Amino acid sequence: MPSCPPWWLLLLLSLWEPLLRRAEAGSEGQTAGELYQRWERYRRECQATLEAAAPPAGLACNGSFDMYVCWDHTAPNATARASCPWYLPWNRHVAAGFVLRHCGSDGQWGPWRDHSQCENPEKNGVFQDQRLSLERLQVMYTVGYSLSLATLLLALLILSFFRRLRCTRNYIHINLFMSFMLRAAAILTRDRLLPPPGPYPGGQAPILWNRALAACRTAQILTQYCVGANYTWLLVEGIYLHSLLVLVGGSEEGHFRCYMLLGWGAPALFVIPWVIVRYLYENTQCWERNDIKGIWWIIRTPILLTILINFLIFIRILGILASKLRTQQMRCPDYRLRLARSTLTLVPLLGVHEVVFAPVTEEQARGALRLAKLSFEIFLSSFQGFLVSVLYCFINKEVQSEIRRGWHRCRLRHRLGEEPCQPPERAFRTLPSGSGPGQVAAGRALCSRTLPGPAGEASHVLESYC
């Protein structure tokens, strides 16, 4: 027996030391050296016990010390049970517990052992609290995404139903609604395929079946694409609004095609590289954990960039609104109140709330800060689609006016005994090939209520915030 412990054992104990010292240093007062001495004595006793025991007569799993607990000789197709090792600093709390390990039919030990009964109870209490918090957050965002999905679907049908609401601005709103719906559906579907939210004692997450793993990873890829598309369409909303207020001229049809390419095509530019790198270097479980942070930043960097650009656009638009309102060009009696209202309206449209915790990375978020970050981002992100559908469809004056017009038309036809109500102006006619910018002129009168052109549209946009 060498006088100095081998280097690999010191390394192993150095990895255990922070956990052990944090859990029981106050009550047991053990140092790393004292812990090693207890562990070494346990190992020697295990070897002596195994050498004194009679060897098994037939096929069996040989008794051994697996660096954690001492195992006796065990018959095939049986589950061995060993008492929690007494060298653990918290052994007095788990003295009645056992470690379990399966002996296979070929006389070989299984690769996995169940030592959950020997976990530090204080640590398990922390895990249970964290798991409860995560489960509550999951319930909250499930409700939020479900509500957003329902309201966005209704708003999408309304904007698509009325022909007079068809213009570039509402086409962009429709695509934004679709991105929110896809994000909600993808996240809810992924949650059905993932194990329950952790953390798990010992860091051992439940193992997925092979047949479920492919479906889960596919859902994870689609989720990352839909989340990326949602952020790019928020960016498109910001770019379009900025172009209305600042830029003059240009073809809206040509711009809309660029918006479509940016909104649905840009996410593929970083999701596809992420899939390839993830498959090559971190192909574990359902890809829900991001242990290699460099790979995760392939996804995170473009999203943070869109958040930053939208925040700068938000500041720029507020400056324009403040200038217009201050000079009373929009005839607003209280420009401070109007400016506050426009600010609150722009926040969900541009996703400005993401800036609050954007500088806080996953590595920095710990404890209360992590919980605050998760609660803030998850709540607003899950209900953001609901807020957008309400602000830009259900309480929009143009939409309400068109709904009332259609309702009055239906009632009039019913009173006159004419044929049942049809979609106003045959709203369900097939759109031209493409995404519909060719219909912009038809809906311009209602969407802008002013002379065609970016300047008139910008004036109407400003008036809508007053």
Q: Same structural domain for residues 228 and 95?
A: no
- Please compute the mean of the pLDDT values over residues 392-410 and round it to a whole number: 87
Q: Same structural domain for residues 327 and 458?
A: yes
Instruction: Please report where in the chains the tokens 């052990």 appear, as a residue.
Output: 20
Q: Same structural domain for residues 412 and 267?
A: yes
Amino acid found at 348: P
Band the pLDDT of 396: cuts 50, 70, 90. Answer: confident
Q: Same structural domain for residues 185 and 285?
A: yes
- Predicted pLDDT at 207: 46
114-123, 151-160, 330-339, 397-406: which range is least confident on average? 330-339
Q: Indicate whether 217 belongs to any domain.
A: yes
- Predicted pLDDT at 196: 56
- Please compute the mean of the pLDDT values over residues 335-361 and round it to a whole number: 72
Question: In the predicted model, what is the mean pLDDT of the chain?
Answer: 76
Band the pLDDT of 128: cuts 50, 70, 90. Answer: low
Q: Same structural domain for residues 87 and 236?
A: no
- Predicted pLDDT at 253: 65
Structural domain total, the chain? 2
Full residue range of the structural domain in which residue 12 is found: 7-118
**Strand order of the sheet with strand 109-114?**
78-83, 98-103, 109-114
- Predicted pLDDT at 150: 96
CATH number at residue 108: 4.10.1240.10
User: Vertex 177, ends 173 and 182: CA angle to 5°?
Assistant: 150
Instruction: Give every CB contact of residue 404 below 8 A, 6+ residues apart in sequence.
Output: none
Instruction: Give every CB contact of residue 179 below 8 A, 6+ residues apart in sequence.
Output: 226, 229, 230, 232, 233, 263
Last residue of a domain, one of 90, 118, 146: 118
CA distances from 419 to 371, 410, 414 (A): 58, 10, 8
Q: Same structural domain for residues 323 and 379?
A: yes
Element (H, E) at 448: helix 440-448
81-85, 119-123, 194-198, 344-348: which range is least confident on average? 194-198
Distance between CA atoms of residues 212 and 209, nearest Å? 5
Band the pLDDT of 429: cuts 50, 70, 90. Answer: very low
Last residue of a domain, one of 85, 118, 151: 118
Crossing angle between the packed helical segments 210-246 and 335-350, to the nearest 10 degrees: 150
- The secondary structure of 359-401 as a DSSP string is TS-TTT--HHHHHHHHHHHHHHHHHHHHHHHIIIIIT-HHHHH
Q: Same structural domain for residues 59 and 98?
A: yes
Q: Indicate whether 188 belongs to any domain.
A: yes
Q: Indicate whether 320 belongs to any domain.
A: yes
221-225, 258-262, 268-272, 408-412: which range is least confident on average? 408-412
Q: Indicate whether 2 belongs to any domain.
A: no
CATH number at residue 431: 1.20.1070.10
Residue 78 pLDDT greater than 80, yes or no:
yes
- Predicted pLDDT at 390: 92
Residue 204 pLDDT greater than 50, yes or no:
no
Of 263, 253, 314, 248, whose CA–CA distance to 457 is shortest? 248
- Please compute the mean of the pLDDT values over residues 300-329 and round it to a whole number: 84
Last residue of a domain, one of 55, 88, 118: 118
- Predicted pLDDT at 201: 43
Classify 195 in phi/psi space as left (phi over 0), alpha (psi -120 to 50) or beta: beta
Q: Indicate whether 1 belongs to any domain.
A: no
- Most confident range, picked from 55-59, 383-387, 407-411: 383-387
- Predicted pLDDT at 432: 38
Residue 10 pLDDT greater than 50, yes or no:
no
In terms of DSSP bridges, do strands 64-65 and 70-71 run parallel, antiparallel, or are they unpaired? antiparallel
Alpha helices per DSSP H over 397-436: 397-416
- Predicted pLDDT at 441: 40
- Please compute the mean of the pLDDT values over residues 137-163 and round it to a whole number: 92
Instruction: Please report where in the chains the tokens 């209490």 appear, as a residue.
Output: 125
Amino acid found at 142: T
Coil, strand or helix: which one is 4? coil
- Predicted pLDDT at 32: 65
Q: Same structural domain for residues 198 and 58?
A: no
Give 342's DSSP letter.
Answer: H
Band the pLDDT of 3: cuts 50, 70, 90. Answer: very low
Q: Same structural domain for residues 380 and 235?
A: yes
Instruction: Please report where in the chains the tokens 């006088």 appear, as a residue.
Output: 3
Q: Indicate whether 405 belongs to any domain.
A: yes
Determine contact, residues 102/110, Cβ cutoff 8 Å: yes
- Most confident range, picked from 22-26, 129-133, 381-385: 381-385
Q: Indicate whether 223 belongs to any domain.
A: yes
Classify 453 in phi/psi space as left (phi over 0), alpha (psi -120 to 50) or beta: left
Q: Same structural domain for residues 167 and 39?
A: no
- Please compute the mean of the pLDDT values over residues 298-318 and round it to a whole number: 91
Band the pLDDT of 233: cuts 50, 70, 90. Answer: very high
Band the pLDDT of 18: cuts 50, 70, 90. Answer: very low
59-73, 263-277, 352-366: which range is least confident on average? 352-366
Residue 173 pLDDT greater than 60, yes or no:
yes
Q: Indicate whether 65 belongs to any domain.
A: yes
Of residues 254 and 289, more confidence is placed in 289
Q: Same structural domain for residues 250 and 327?
A: yes
Band the pLDDT of 4: cuts 50, 70, 90. Answer: very low
Q: Same structural domain for residues 267 and 289?
A: yes
pLDDT tens, position by position, 448-465: 443 334 444 455 555 554
Of 458, 446, 377, whose CA–CA distance to 144 is shortest? 377
- Predicted pLDDT at 365: 63
Name the percent of the chain lying above pLDDT 90.
Answer: 26
Alpha helices per DSSP H over 29-120: 32-52, 91-94
